[in-house]
């Protein structure tokens, strides 16, 4: 048998909950129970991954203290993670004993909150243990209190080993209702994997960047939705054409995913844009549809696209440098 202990206090020396947990663990060790303790204040950066540790436990102890109000942030965060990432099928068969030793009023309410939360998660709550301790030394030396703690450990052992049944509770119905409303059902394995990713800040940041990049891509596609493929970008070049800076030149834009290149011909201040082919352009530019969309929308200049590597250029570079002057897509300083 294995029992996990999740301690949600701050680990201060005079926390009576720690004394009770040590006594409980001594009794469980004598009963040949494997006990593993998780101090949430030490694992606060990985709390989202801890629900996975319940998978190999027969029962758990959720222990905390009340220093001024409620069960505290660490225990609440752990319960939130169980709701979001926990293996609900495993939780349904896992017994939980709440332990709350308080130095402030509210110990019974805190113990009830933990028990109710575990029921809503679908788990099996056991009879808990709570108490208000105003003098830790007197509490530790009181043999009657020690007997109560030992009895609690023994009862927890019997409950788990005998798989004691309990009557149905309405709180479990909340779990079923909420689960049916979830848009994306996840397997226990997927939930466990997701919890590990959620705790990885670098992964989360990379996901945000990818989402922003996709959003920009689809935003550009939506802006051109309904436009004839053969007319895409042509009106943009015509609107921003600046004849005063024009030269005689042929630009060829090879655009990713476009069947034909975009040809931009400038002759004697006259502009001719079309999709086709030209065997001998003075300047050849290779870029993606997303990059060209950002250029014509004023988010990026031709020169900035070249420097960042988003656009490759071949041919007469003196004429390439005139692109940002000939077409005033942005207000950036031209080279």
pLDDT digits (tens, 9 = 90+) for 117-140: 999 999 998 999 999 998 989 999
Structure token pair of residue 121: 């998660």
Give residue 168's pLDDT. Answer: 72
**Sign of the alpha-carbon torsion through 36, 40, 45, 49:** positive
Give residue 65's pLDDT. Answer: 92
Question: What is the model's pTM?
Answer: 0.54
Could you tell me which residues come within 8 angstroms of residue 100 by beta carbon, excluding any fewer than 6 positions away?
Answer: 17, 63, 64, 65, 66, 71, 107, 108, 110, 111, 114, 128, 129, 130, 131
Assess whether pLDDT exceeds 90 at residue 202: no
Q: Which helix (H) or strand (E) holds 84?
A: helix 73-85
Assess whether pLDDT exceeds 80 at residue 246: no
Other Cβ atoms within 10 Å of 316 Cβ, number: 14
Do 85 and 107 form a contact (C-beta atoms < 8 A)? Answer: no
pLDDT digits (tens, 9 = 90+) for 11-46: 888 899 999 999 999 999 999 999 999 999 999 888
Q: Can you list the domains of the chain with their CATH numbers? A: 2-197 (3.40.50.360), 229-326 (3.30.1050.10)
Distances (CA, A) of 76 to 48, 62, 94, 171: 11, 11, 19, 18
């Amino acid at each position: 048998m294995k029992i996990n202990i999740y301690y949600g206090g701050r680990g201060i020396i005079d926390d009576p909950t720690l004394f009770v947990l040590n006594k409980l663990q001594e009794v469980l060790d004598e009963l040949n129970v494997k006990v593993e303790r998780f101090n949430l204040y030490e694992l606060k950066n990985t709390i989202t991954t801890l629900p996975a540790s319940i998978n190999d436990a027969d029962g758990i102890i959720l222990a905390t203290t009340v220093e001024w109000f409620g069960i505290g942030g660490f225990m609440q965060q752990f319960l939130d993670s169980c709701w979001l990432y926990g293996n609900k099928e495993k939780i349904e068969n896992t017994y939980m004993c709440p332990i709350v030793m308080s130095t402030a009023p509210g110990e019974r309410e805190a113990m009830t909150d933990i028990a109710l939360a575990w029921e809503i998660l679908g788990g099996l709550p056991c009879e808990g243990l709570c108490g208000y301790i105003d003098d830790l030394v007197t509490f530790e030396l009181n043999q009657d209190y020690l007997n109560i703690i030992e009895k609690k450990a023994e009862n927890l052992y019997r409950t788990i080993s005998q798989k004691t049944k309990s009557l149905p509770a309405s709180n479990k119905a909340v779990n079923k209702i909420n689960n049916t409303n979830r848009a994306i059902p996840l397997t226990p394995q997927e939930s466990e994997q997701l919890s590990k990713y959620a705790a990885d800040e670098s992964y989360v940041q990379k996901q945000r960047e990818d989402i922003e990049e996709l959003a920009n891509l689809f935003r550009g596609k939506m802006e051109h939705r309904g436009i004839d493929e053969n007319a895409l970008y042509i009106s943009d070049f015509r609107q921003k054409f600046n004849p005063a800076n024009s030269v005689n030149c042929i630009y060829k834009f090879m655009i990713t995913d476009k069947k034909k290149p975009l040809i931009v011909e400038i002759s004697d201040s006259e502009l001719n844009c079309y999709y086709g082919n030209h065997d001998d352009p003075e300047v050849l530019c290779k870029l993606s549809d997303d990059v060209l969309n950002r250029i014509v929308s004023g988010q990026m200049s031709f020169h900035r696209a070249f420097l960042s590597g988003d656009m490759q250029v071949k041919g007469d570079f003196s004429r390439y440098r005139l692109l940002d002057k000939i077409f005033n897509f942005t207000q950036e300083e031209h080279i």
